[in-house]
Every structure is written in structure tokens, then in C-alpha cells.
Structure 1
């Protein structure tokens, strides 16, 4: 005679305990050594008074919580060894939750609520809509598909909750007081549905305090003070279908887990985010306002600054009788300005009419020595600067070509810069200045020169090697701000300009450069450009900070308002990265809309300025940078709220109001 071995339990708990608190909080033990086995296809009722631990037990069974000690084996596998994604897979593919409070997402329709588990299972939008519609029709809600929870009765909401539990198959239904908030008729209908599901082979675990409700199950387990005190044992119903099979978690993971297209996930997150933005129009509008103003201001000011810079290059004359200034320019047909490359400068230096070729980068930069910090014009140029400008070194020396080539971190002080940073040190040689974030050693002090025509005072400047400046201070610079060209002699200035013009035209194929050749020093325009640059930096910083704070504030409020929704999504199978991606997408969508609006407004304001005679040159780089900054603001300032949402405890989230 052959003896058939009994099937292994689907769910098996061994001496499971769950404690809360500890540390500076009082420790409470809710479950005290629970051992329990549930086989596939069983209809089990766990009955107990309020506070007996039955809801905590359900949370452990549904992998919303973990035991403090003991062992939980699911389908023969130890749940303690499952990572967060595998637990999410179990909640998504094996379990279906039915709660006393329904736990439906208020902003979604009945059909959309039912679809939620399928979103995280990777089902296409059409397939999940068809399945959700069929489930709701099967439960008598065919005419309520687009109704929101507030438009449904308690019994109808509970049926929506059951449909959601069945969306991904619902092999195991965990029902926590499913009739507790219903009238007698609705409660009877819900119990009839659960019995039908049990007859169809679903495993049902019913949590209730009502013994009459529990008696309708085929096995009743009583729990009291965190311990099982009675178990009626297994009892099969006649005509029950074959229990629904539950695949192995590790096998599913080995098959690739959840296979979803990233664009589909982002589209779903964007849809949810857009709905949230529309439901909170006033708050969203105020958040967008800061981003719109910031982006538009950056675009306009960059355009004005570029126009001023172009005017400076056009008008800048020599700081001596042989000096010219060279820079890139926009061509008449539009497009980006030309670039003066290192190869161009080498070719110019080889012309017999040219004496010196000195590329320059210069901008106001924070300079600090000890407790003294000032915004100083940092002049990065080659070792030829004293010779080009006929300027002597009063103390120490100027840096050499070899030091420039080796990126030496050396600095030469202007006369007033010496007094400002080292007022009590007659000889500052060997001392250190922090320029931006880089330390530079003082090797010299320039003689007093003064300002020309009320413009930038050269004595306030500090001078650093060109290559070190590019590597250590002006890292984003791909070409010099301008290049100082000195003719070999006063008599050759005009010839040098013509030769340089012909050479660059031949190399570039178009006149995308400008050569300034004026005797006067137009430092007033240069000072305007520097002031404008400082203003642009301030506007960009303010726009990022204001916009970022606004986004963070809105997202933190959103997470707080939607804590229960987050718990629902986790309970229906969302992984932490799904929640993180959803809220990051919402933050980026806000800044994306704000960035686009800012671009449009900035272009409109710039057009008005151009019509008014203000020199404005729109820069595609500036517009792209401003827009990218707005999107980056969403990512940076939205990450903390999104991470907070992803890290919520599902049990706590579901219990929130």
C-alpha cells in the first residue's frame, strides 16, 4: 500500500516573536512564540480581541514586517534570507491584501486602484486596464469603473479592494477585518466573495475579532496576548478546486524578476505626478514661480552679459601703443560664436609682425588669506604680462614659462592686493593665498600702477599662471576670455592687424572673430562686464536655492500627505526604487515645467530688450545650462523627500491618517 506524503506547508512559522521599542523606548512584545502552518488552498480565520497581536501576525505573514526572532518559511524558503526586492515580489505576486479601512488611493478611480499591483508587475497599460475592468465587472462594479473612492459605498470600496488583491492572481488573500467597517448586508456579500475565492483554490487568511465571521472559515485559529491558544485544524470544503500554485521566489528572481521598460515606469510616474500637480494648482504654481523667475533671469542676464562682453571685445583698445585684443564673434548668419584655439594662437605668434601673444582669463573670484576674504579680479595670463603691459615687479619675481607649463600654483600680488591681504607683512613672499578653492604661493608684488580712466584698478588684482588658472581656478573655461596681441613695433600695428585677420580668415573660413585695435583703454566696459558676471552668478545661485527650497518643501508636504498611499503601493508590490523613482519624477516634472516656462519668458523678455536697443546675444549654452540647472534642481532637492518616501515603514505608513 502506497502512502502519500502530506504536502509541505505554504506558510510555516516557528517560534516567531515580534517586539517593538527598545533603547530609550519601553520594549513591548506583541507576538510571543507563534508557531503556525498554513497549506495552499486553506481558508483560515485568525480570531482574537483587539490588541491580541492578530494584525501584527498578518503584517508578518504578508511580508510588511519582519519577526524579531523565530523563523518564517514561505513555500519552503526562509523569508529571513530574502532581500527587499524579493519581499516586494512576494507582496506583488503571491499576496493580495484586503484591509478594514479599504486603503484605496483617493485620487485614483476604482479601475486605477485595481491596476496598481499590475503596474509594479510590469503589465502593459492596455492589459491591466482590461483585467481590472473584468475583475470589477465580476464583482458587480462594471458601472463604477471611473468612480473615485469617495463616490463609492463602503461595500463597493471593499469589493474594489478585493479586485485589487486579485489583480496579480491573488494566490494568497490576507484580509484584515474585511467586514469590520461594513453593514450586515455588505459584510455578508464580502464573506460570500471570500468563500468563492477559497472554493476556486485561493489561500485565504482572514483576520477578525468577530467569532461569527470567523466561523465561516474552514479553520479557526484563536490568538490571545500574542500566543495561539486554539486551532481547529485543517478542514477541506467539498468540491474545492486545486489550490493555486505559488512559484519559488528564487526561481522568479532567476528568471529576471520584474521585466519592465523604464520608459513605461517613468510614464506612469509622470501621469501620477501630473495629476497631483493639477489637484494642487495653487501650491504647484507658487513652486513654479521661483523656478520660472530664476531661469528667465539667468537667460536674460546671460544674453545682456554676452552682449556687453561682445561690445568690450569690439571696443577694447590697447593698454599701450602696440596692443590689440582678439576674441571670438558671432557671424552674421547666426550660430555660436567662433572659438580662438591654441592652434590659432600658435599660428599668430609665428607671424613676423607679432611680438607677444598672451591669452587671458579673468573674473572676480573669492580670494582668502587667514580671516580676510575678498572678491578679487584674478588675472590668469602667461609670463609675458609684465613685458606686454610695461609693468615692473616691485618685490620678488614673476613666474616663468616653465612654471606656467608645469601648472605651478604661484601668484603675484597687485600693489593694493598686497596691502589688503598682508597689511602687516612688508614682505609677503612665500605666504599662501586661497584662490577659489586652490592654494597659491606668493612669489612677487607688482609696482603701483593705478586705474586708467576710472576703470578697473590693476593694483587690486592678483596674477596667476595661465595654465594653472585653467586647471585650478577657471576649470570650465575652454578658451581664453580674450587674447592680448602685441605688435613687434609701433610701426607694424596696422600690418600686424591685417596679417592676423588674413590668417584667421584662412583658418576659420569665415569671420567669426573680432580684433580690437584702439589706443584708449576701455576699462569701464570691462568693469561693466565683470559686474554683470557677478550679478549672473548671484542670480543663478539665488534661483537654484529658491527653486530648490520650494521643490523640497512641496515634495516633503506631498510625502506627508500621501504617506498612506505610499504604504498602499508598498503593500501591493512596489519596490523602494519604484517609490524613489516616482517621487523623483514628480520633483523633476515640476522643475521641467518651470524650466520650459522660464525659457519662454526669458526669450520674450530678451526680444523686448533687443527691440529697445539693448545689446542682447542669446546663448544656446546659457539657455541649455539654465534649463539643465532647473531639472538638476528637481533631482538634487527632490532626492531627500523621495528617499524619505522610499524608506517609509509600510506598517506605519498604512496606519497613518
Structure 2
């Protein structure tokens, strides 16, 4: 059969019913209609007659409840959602009464939109859209947004958009309804020109004066064709049907181009309401900043902890009294320390008397910790002099008034002297000779300054300062830490034999460090959980804002679907917005976390070590969270019925 005798649009027994509860409304009641390529048809009817429903079915944004719809000889009932989108994209152009332009995009961007979904190259889209706008008298307004255009100009943009992919069939729904008479006349003139160029024009109107511009007038009443003025077969261009059929399957844009357009549109949409966007980002920002700062401070604390541990060693244990009363415990003595030294696996046994003292030099007074001990101090703590020399065995036996200064005390008492060895310092108003300065050991695991002390012979402290030789503790160094428990049992047995009871405590450094590390790890886990909760709250915030966004942009979704967006296009568009939102939050969170870490190091003297892995992980986690929580709103947007979305307020 000759192509001119094959209807482009062929409707047979088309019915459309809507159910609301138990009420069924029949909008179309068996429409029989054939429209040929190149016709300029006006479908006229009063409000509620079914003309808009008929237009939606012809434009493939709604499906009939019953009947057969053939487009260019193909039954469209077999096409799925994306198949219908492809046919709309490549064969139809829509001109709406309310224009339905996307407010966040310029006139040029709105016109390009059908070609974006068709996968056309960017340069081609820009060139063709510019030419269409110029043809319609909008060459100087193509970069304006819809809100900056008059009603007539917006309708011209809508017409240009309908032609972007060829527009073999143009559906114009009350195209002059929102325009003044002059603009309306201009729009009708453009439609006549398009009909003369071979486009199939289907004009939906209630105004008989507008319908008079068409070559064929079809009147619809109560869901049925009431009258049809008939067609002029001689005006049908033979090329139109071929164009429509050839593009029916459509194409998909390359992935990189699709991602670029999705990201571009996402940034534009987020920029519309910056305050809301910023509030939505807060949860993600706080979560990422917490992770980055926590990990940096935690790693710094870990490094400092290990540095201190290596400085003082962990191969020792402490024997201390279980009570201060002579009734409850016997004092620890130098003889106890000597006896412990003879045990197997003991490499050193340091007796120690710890007391407070006041040091004075010139006009400077300092409170310090006095450690009275023996030369075993050097072996047990691996702590030697940085300047000068350690006291001698003769000093221990004779009780000579000699001592070593900790690095902090030496600096404060002798700020202008590099080596104070040979100088005298008053300890509790008793003069002592400084023989040297100890190596610096920094802070303890509890944050105390290890260098704010003095070390002197045990006998000297007992005779000259405190009048007692009872020990505060005995520090024992262990040769083989794998045999720590056996050594502890041996010390325990020895002291029970010597004291007649267990009136002492044993504390090993390794256990103390492990406990401190466990506490630090637990603290990190707690902070990590707080950060994770913050990110979770941020993810929920993204989901909520995306649900609101979908509700606010329902009509935009309908427009995108009408001009040929696939399900994946709409899903990807809104999912990309969620990802972009969370990525922005992740980046700002990363910057905030770095600033917090720098502030902690600058203001509080903390050791801070940033981790690239932790930073990347935190930002990646934010993006993953945004993706997971953004999927449901995006999926809801993608599954919206085009005709329902277009009719939303």
C-alpha cells in the first residue's frame, strides 16, 4: 500500500477509564480516528469532553484501557516504558498551555533537552537549539531562564523544544490559552508554517476561532468523536512517516555525556535553594569532619604513645605497698630489691623512694618530683644522662648531696646555661650539687611531664631530706617478656616468704600499656560510632530533601518523560543529585576535619597525623551513604506516570 494511504496515527476502539474508589469515570468511549502525515488537525471540545485524554494517548504519555493504537503501522501496545519514551523522543514534540519549561535551565538548555535524552553530541545540540531559537526570534534571549521571559517568549521556547529532535508530530495543547491575542496569533502562525513544512500538527483547543487555523477539525463530545471535517489527502508529504518510523527505536547517550549532563543539571538544581542545600549537607559535613579529625588526632596520640612507650620501655614491672599502715603492710626495703635482683629472668631491680620537693636556684622556685634510687635506674628505665654524668656508687654509699636534673627543670632553673653540671641547687633548702641532666622522656601515658623531676641516691634522700629509707616501690626489669608471668609468680612467692603475707601489689608495664591502648581504641570506636551516626543522619537528611525535591519537581519529571527521558535518565538524574550533594558534603567535611586537626595541634599542642586513606574513606563513605539514601527518592521519581506527573500542581 502507498505510504500516503497508511495513517500515521490510527486509533481503533480507544477507551480510557479512571477509577477512584468505587467510582469509574469513562473519559473515552471507543474513539475511532486516523491522522495522516502532514495534516494540520484541530481536536475541539469542551472541558471534560475527553480531548486532553485523547491527546495524552496520542502522545504516548498515557495508555488506553481498551483498543488498538498503531503509529506508522506499529501497534504501540507492545512497547515498554522506555520504548514509548524513545518513540516520543524521536517522533513527537509537545507544546503545552503552561509551557512546562524547566525553571533551573536557560532557554537554550530547555530546547536542547530532547536531544540530550537522544544522545546527541553537545556541539550539535547547541548549534541546532541556537538556530531554532534564532528562527523563532529569540536569538538574544537564549541564555535567559524562563522566569526572565514573557509568556509568548516561553511558548516560543516550547515550540523550539518540540522541534529539537525533528518533531514529525507536534502536539499542541491549548498553545494560545495563556497568551494575549497578539502572542496567540504569532504562535498559530508558527504552527501553520510548520504544517506547511511537512510536520503533522495536532492542535487541542476549546476555542473554535483557534481551531479555524487548522485544515481539519475534529470535535469530541463525551468521549466520542462527534464530527470530523475530513482530510485533504493531496497535502500529505510522503517523507514524514518515514522519518517517524526510522527514529522509533531511539538511541542512548554515551555514558560520559550522560554523566556530564546529569551532573550539570544536579548543580543547577541544588543552586536554586542554597540555604536548604547547606542545611541538608550539615549531617554529612559533621560526620566526615568527625572521622577525619578523629583519625588524625587518634593516629597522633597513638604515635606519641608508642614514642613514649619505646622511650621508657615496657619490659618492667612495679612492686608497691598495698597499704600505708604498718598494721596492714610491711615496708618495702632495699634488701627486698636486692633479693628480687637475684631471681631468674630479672635483669635489674631498682629501689625507689618518690617524694615531692621544692627546688630553688637564684630567684626561681620550682615544685618537682624527687626520685631517690640507685644506679639501677639507668638499667631498668633505660634512662641515662644527656649532659654531665650519673652519680657514682661511692655517692650512693656515702649519701653525698648530689643529683641529676630532669630536662624540664634544667631548662627552667638554668635558662641561659647549656650544661648546669657543677652548679648547686637547693632542695627543700638543702644545697645539692648537679652532676648532670637526664635525657628528655616527654609526657607519660597520663599526660604528666616525665622531665619535671630530679634523681638522687637513695641513701642521700633518706639521710638529708626525708629521714626514712622505706621504699615507695621497686621497679623490676624483665629479661624475657615471654616469661613475664613466671617471673611475677616468683617475685610474689619471694616477697610472701620475706613479709609473711601478701601485702604488696604487682603492676607490669606491658599490661598498663595494653590497658591504655584498649581504652584509646574504645574511645576511637565511640568517636567512630558518633561519626557514623552523624553520617547516617546526614544520609537520612539527603533522602528527606530528595523526597521533597521529587514532590516539588513532579511536573518537571513529567516534562522530561514527555520529551523522551528513559526511566534510567530520570533515575540517574535524581540519584546524581543525591551523589553530588553527598560529595559536596564530603569535601566540605574533609576541609573542616583538617581545620579541626590543625586547630588541635596549634591550640592544644596535640600530635596530629592525617591519613589520606582515612580522608578518602570518609568522603567515599559519604558518597555511598548519599547513594543509598538517594536511591529510593530517585526510583520513585523514575516510576512516576508521565500523565500524572504533568497534571500535578
Give the shorter-chain TM-score range: 0.5 to 0.7
Offset from partner CA, 1:56-109 (integer Å, 9 cap, x none): 000001110111111111111111100111111111100000111111112222
Residues 491/158 of structure 1: CA separation in 2 closer, same or farther (3 Å cut): closer
Shift of 1:281: 1.2
Distance 1:640 1:491, change over 3 A: closer
TM-score between the two structures when normalised by the length of structure 1: 0.67
Q: Which residue of 2 aligns with 1:49?
A: 46
Distance 1:641 1:201 in 2: 42
TM-score (norm 2): 0.67
Other-structure match for 2:211:
214
2:301·2:606 contact (CA, 8 Å) conserved in 1? no
Does residue 586 of structure 1 match 2:577? yes
Distance in 2 between the 1:83 and 1:17 partners?
A: 20
User: Is 2:15 the counterpart of 1:17?
Assistant: yes
List aligned pairs for 1:242-253, cutoff 5 A.
Answer: 242-247=238-243, 253=249
Q: Write out aligned runs for 1:286-297 (5 A).
A: 286-297=279-290
8 Å Cα contact 2:286-2:531 kept in structure 1: no
RMSD: 2.9
CA apart distance, 1:554: 1.8
Taking a change above 3 Å as real, the CA distance of residues 118 and 138 of structure 1, as seen in their structure-2 partners, is same
Cα offset, 1:312, TM superposition: 5.5
CA contact (8 A) 2:288 2:589 kept: yes
Q: Offset of 1:184 from its aligned partner?
A: 2.0
How many angstroms does 1:209 deviate by?
1.0
Change (3 A) 1:274 1:519: closer
Deviation, structure 1 residue 111: 1.5
Quote the Cα distance in structure 2 between the aligned partners of 1:82 and 1:533: 56
Shift in Å at residue 604 of structure 1? 2.3
C-alpha distance in 2, partners of 1:224/1:546? Answer: 54
**Which of 172, 176, 180 is equivalent to 1:179?**
176
The corresponding residue for 2:625 is 633
1:522 equivalent to 2:527? Answer: no
User: SS of the residue aligned with 1:205?
Assistant: strand
Q: How far off is 1:231 after superposition?
A: 1.3
Residue 7 of structure 1 pairs with residue 5 of structure 2:
yes
Identify the residue that residue 623 of structure 1 maps to in structure 2. 615
The 1-side partners of 2:515 and 2:600 are apart by: 22
Aligned to 1:474: none
Which residue does 1:276 correspond to in 2? 269
- Counterparts of 2:8 and 2:534 in 1: how far apart (Å)? 57
Equivalent in the alignment of 2:64 = 67
Do the aligned residues in 1 keep the contact of 2:94 with 2:171 (CA within 8 Å)? yes
Deviations 1:510-554 (A, max 9, x none): xxxxxxx95553344124213313323322322222211221122
Q: Which 10-residue stretch deviates more, 75-84 or 120-129? A: 120-129
Counterparts of residues 405-416 of structure 1 (less than 5 Å): none
Deviation at 1:225, TM superposition (A): 0.4
Counterparts of 2:283 and 2:304, CA distance in 1: 31
Preserved CA contact (<8 Å) 1:312 1:525: no
- Classify the secondary structure of the residue corresponding to 2:93: strand
**Contact 1:200–1:243 under 8 Å retained in 2:** no
Instruction: Quote the offset at 1:130 in angstroms.
Output: 1.2
After superposition, what is the alpha-carbon deviation per residue over 1:332-391, rounded to whole angstroms, capped at 9, x for unaligned? xxxxxxxxxxxxxxxxxxxxx9xxxxxxxxxxxxxxxxxxxxxxxxxxxxxxxxxxxxxx
Q: Is the 8 A contact 1:103 1:568 kept in 2?
A: yes
User: Structure 1 residue aligned with 2:291, among 298, 315, 318?
Assistant: 298
After the TM superposition, which of the residue ranges 130-139 and 213-222 deviates more from structure 2? 213-222
CA distance in 1, matches of 2:267, 2:647: 26
Distance 1:557 1:130, change over 3 A: same
Residue 535 of structure 1 corresponds to 526
Q: Pick one of 139, 143, 155 that aligns with 2:136.
A: 139
Rate the CA distance shift 1:191–1:251 in 2: closer, same or farther, 3 A: closer
Equivalent position SS for 2:140: helix
Q: 1:89 to 1:491 in 2, by over 3 A?
A: closer
Give the superposition deviation at 1:308: 3.9
Checking the alignment, whether the CA contact within 8 Å between 2:18 and 2:25 is kept in structure 1 is yes
User: CA deviation digits over 1:295-342, x for unaligned, max 9?
Assistant: 011111122333344456563987998xxxxxxxxxxxxxxxxxxxxx
Q: After alignment, is 101-110 or 167-176 more displaced?
A: 101-110
Matched, 1:107 2:129: no
Query: Structure 2 residue aligned with 1:31, among 28, 49, 52?
Result: 28
Q: Is the 8 A contact 2:87 2:248 kept in 1?
A: no
Q: Does 1:546 align with 2:503?
A: no
Q: Partners of 1:96 and 1:183 in 2: how far apart? A: 23
User: In the alignment, is the contact (CA less than 8 A) between 2:91 and 2:247 conserved in 1?
Assistant: no
Q: Report the alpha carbon displacement of residue 618 of structure 1 after superposing the two structures with TM.
A: 2.4
Query: 2:464: which partner in 1?
Result: none
Determine the structure 1 residue equivalent to 2:198: 201
Of the two, which has the highest radius of gyration?
2
Q: Name the structure 1 match of 2:156.
A: 159
Paired residue secondary structure (1:522): helix
Aligned to 1:204, the other structure's residue is in SS state strand
Aligned to 1:78: 75
| Count of matched residue positions in the alignment of Structure 1 and Structure 2 | 468
Question: Residues 259 and 6 (structure 1 numbering): CA distance in 2 closer, same or farther, change over 3 Å?
Answer: closer
1:652 alignment partner, one of 640, 644, 647: 644
Q: Alpha carbons of 1:491 and 1:53: their partners in 2 closer, same or farther (altered >3 Å)?
A: closer
Match of 2:596? 605
1:228, 1:160 → 2: CA distance?
Answer: 32
Q: Aligned-pair distance for 1:140?
A: 1.6
What's the offset of the Cα at 1:167?
0.6
In the TM superposition, 1:451-466 aligns within 5 A as none
Indicate the residue corresponding to 2:337 in structure 1.
none
Q: Structure 1 653/489 Cα, relative in aligned 2: closer, same or farther at 3 Å? A: closer
1:609, distance to aligned residue in structure 2 (A): 2.3
Distance 1:544 1:588 in 2: 14
Equivalent residues of 1:200, 1:242 under 8 A apart: no
Structure 1: where are the runs of 5+ without partners?
A: 322-352, 354-452, 455-484, 494-516
Corresponding residue for residue 566 of structure 1 = 557
From the superposition, tell whether residues 539 and 221 of structure 1 become closer, same or farther in structure 2 (CA, over 3 Å): same
Cα gap change, 1:130/1:6 in structure 2, threshold over 3 Å: closer, same or farther? closer
For 2:622 and 2:77, locate their aligned partners in 1 and report how far apart those are by CA, in whole Å: 43
CA distance in 2, matches of 1:29, 1:275: 41
| Contact 1:41-1:243 within 8 A present in 2 as well | no
In 2 relative to 1, CA 319–26 (structure 1 residues): closer, same or farther, beyond 3 Å?
farther
